[in-house]
Structure 1
Amino acid sequence: MNLSIPALTRFLIREATVEDQHELASLFHFESYVHRHLDWRTPLDWINHPPFLVAEQKGRLIGALASPVDTPGIAWIQVFAVRSNSRLDAVWSALWKQTLSFHKEYSTRQIAAIPSQPWFGKLLTDSHFTHSHDVVTLIWEGQPLTPPKETADVAIREMHTADLKGVLVVDQESFEPLWQQSEAALLIALKQACIATVAEKAGRIIGYQISTCGHLGGHLARLAVVPDQRGRHIGEALVFDLLSKFIDRSVNRVTVNTQHHNTVSLRLYEKLGFRRTGETFHVFTFTP
């Protein structure tokens, strides 16, 4: 894709290539206007996963926008960046116009973003994105744990690569399309996890959790239980087992995110001693 933009703006829009990696890395690391989606992959990992478009002016890269489709019909804006000496609105408009054309051609059902800075939220609003819901953060800081009711026919064990197809089924049955993960994303998540477990019943994976570790503590990144097994304290058992493992590692600070309207998840986490931090992230969506 190599598209001329009106002379007033004097730049070209084209697909990013591996040859752009150095300039893109500089753009993402040193410029002020940079949006990065919180994801298992880095922005550069999305090169060769269209649409990943760049804006070029006089042979110099001045902006980039990537929103690849990783699960059927769903695209997240993984990165948007503009050089500080360029017109933010003009670069966004040109990149967004061609990005939207791509998604319409390929029948993308929904495009989403979670802006962490007001300037990006304004660009989204001005481009007719809708603030659909919020994601909230909860934290556990070593509160005493009460063991959940026993589920004698369910075993919790370490997750292995061979489990991913079963984990993918759980993921697809548990989450609405916007929040589902691809098998490739789950593999990357597993590789980055410090604790990943599955709940298994009669050889069938019926639940899982994936958590990461950092210098500030642990983070429960993913938790799911298949609908036909809910109400049996399996999610509670997975989180209890996870927190017990963190305690064994002397980790007494664990965070988790969930949708503000997911009352089932909120009750589960609060029952186990998590409390809301007050941190909220707005989710914006657009239907092409």
Structure 2
Amino acid sequence: MRVRTALPKDRATIEDLCQHSSRTTARLWWWEEHPGAETFVVTEMSGIVRGVLFAWADGSPIAWTRLAALDDLMSIADWLALSLPPVIAGLRRQHARGLAWLDHGGWAGPHLEEHGFVPLTQVITLVKRHRRMPPCPSDAATVRPATRADVPATIAIDQAAFSPHWWHSTEAMFRKMTAATHFLVALRGGAVVGYVEGTAQGPRAHINRLAVLPAHQNQGVGTTLLHHILTAFWRDGIRTTTLNTQSDNEHARNLYRRFGFQPTGDSTLAWELTL
């Protein structure tokens, strides 16, 4: 077995591995653009790619595992022992302070612990299947569709409202704004103080993020944003809306509970390694 840097020629093999492996992470990043990066490695057995690991820090000192997959012929322990050291070395050269891993399916967690990872948070999924909502505050904020000029403000909101694990770079925020079917900002006194963005597809929609500046929280801004995006979803024929939040974020969970969101029972443990 050997580990090496992923190359552009590996893209099709990596895609095939991700599609057919039962041990893989959700692909939440534009990994196809990064073969050749020092934090993107593949593991080979007899010249055949059997595992892949890619980590990337996006405008934050905390990197995330953006892509991980291995086939059934390779043990998780052997794969991590080979692939983690070069990825960690690359992240340290990039001055990353930590590596986080969202363990979809729970297959990596016990082995991550052996490499010094500790639990970070539990991410849960909530769902809303009806149209009942609390009243929308009349004067909490003005809501409008976001424009590219709002990107600096949304980045500042993330950095004020969340730990570095959840920050976005300018490039990533531009991409999210392009990919989202609904991206709204809330204004108070002419300044952007919060935003919400989500994607609708068919009869379902998913809210990717809702964020409000700490100084403007508990004043109806989040309620207003959630009210507006749900109304927009329903106008477009959406019948079911989902979102993710951290299990210990009681402030967010209380807001979503008021809107009738209920746990689906799905949860994913996030792990973190301090570098």
Shorter-normalised TM-score: what interval?
over 0.9
CA shift digits 1:154-204 (9 cap, x unpaired): 310011122111211111111111111222221221111111100122332
Residue 9 of structure 2 is aligned to residue 16 of structure 1: no
* In 2, Cα distance between equivalents of 1:83 and 1:238: 43
* Amino acid corresponding to residue 36 of structure 1 in structure 2: A
Match of 2:240 among 250, 253, 259: 253
Q: How far did residue 50 of structure 1 move?
A: 3.8
Shift of 1:42: 4.1
The corresponding residue for 1:133 is: 121
Alignment of 1:170-185 (within 5 A): 170-185=157-172
**Aligned partner of 1:82: which letter?**
L
Match of 1:101 in 2: 89
- Number of residue equivalences: 275
Counterpart of 2:176 (choices 179, 189, 197) is 189
The TM-score normalised by the length of structure 2 is: 0.92
| Matched-pair contact (CA < 8 Å) for 1:136–1:281 | yes
Alignment RMSD: 1.9
Normalising by structure 1, what TM-score? Answer: 0.88
Residues 20 and 249 from structure 1, CA distance in 2 versus in 1: closer, same or farther, beyond 3 angstroms? same
Identity of aligned residues (%): 24
Is the 1:56–1:63 contact (alpha carbons within 8 Å) kept by the matching residues of 2?
yes
Distance in 2 of aligned mates of 1:177 and 1:109: 10
Which letter maps to 1:30?
H
Deviation at 1:28, TM superposition (A): 1.7
* Structure 1 pair 109–30 and aligned structure 2 pair: CA distance change class (3 A): same
C-alpha distance in 2, partners of 1:74/1:255?
26
- TM superposition shift of 1:48: 4.4
Correspondence list, 1:110-129, <5 A:
110-129=98-117
Separation of aligned partners in 2, 1:36 and 1:161: 27
Structure-2 separation of matches of 1:213 and 1:50:
35
Tell me, yes or no, if structure 1 residue 279 matches structure 2 residue 269. Answer: no
- The residue type paired with residue 119 of structure 1 is W
Q: Is it true that 1:163 corresponds to 2:150 in the alignment?
A: yes
Change in Cα spacing, 1:122 to 1:192, as seen in structure 2 (3 Å) is: same
Residue of structure 1 in register with 2:132 after alignment = 144
In our comparison, the structure showing a higher alpha carbon Rg is 1
Matching residue within 14, 26, 29 for 1:36: 26
Q: Whole-Å Cα distance in 2 between the matches of residues 139 and 20 of structure 1?
A: 37
**Residue 238 in 1 paired to residue 225 in 2?**
yes
Question: In the superposition, relative to structure 1, how do residues 238 and 47 fare at CA in structure 2: closer, same or farther (>3 Å)?
Answer: same
Q: What is the alpha-carbon distance in structure 2 between the residues aligned to residue 240 and residue 171 of structure 1?
A: 20
Q: 1:87 to 1:134 in 2, by over 3 A?
A: closer
Q: Give the superposition deviation at 1:29.
A: 1.8
SS at match of 1:95: helix
Q: CA deviation at 1:138?
A: 1.4
User: What are the superposed Cα offsets for residues 226-246 of structure 1, whole Å, 9 maximum, x if unpaired?
Assistant: 111112100100000111111
CA distance in 2, matches of 1:208, 1:102: 34
Aligned to 1:3: none
- Among 59, 73, 94, the alignment partner of 1:85 is 73
Distance across 1 between alignment mates of 2:129 and 2:77: 42
Contact residue 50 and residue 74 of structure 2 kept, 8 A: yes
1:100-158 per-residue CA deviation (whole Å, 9 max, x = no partner) reads 22223333211111112232222212222112221122111124223222226x31001
Residue of structure 2 equivalent to 1:214: 201
Alignment of 1:3-82 (within 5 A): 10-11=1-2, 13-37=3-27, 39=28, 41-82=29-70
Residue 134 of structure 2 contacts residue 258 of structure 2 at CA under 8 Å; is this kept in 1? no
Classify 1:99/1:160 alpha carbon distance in 2 versus 1 (closer, same or farther; 3 Å): same
Distance 1:59 1:277, change over 3 A: closer
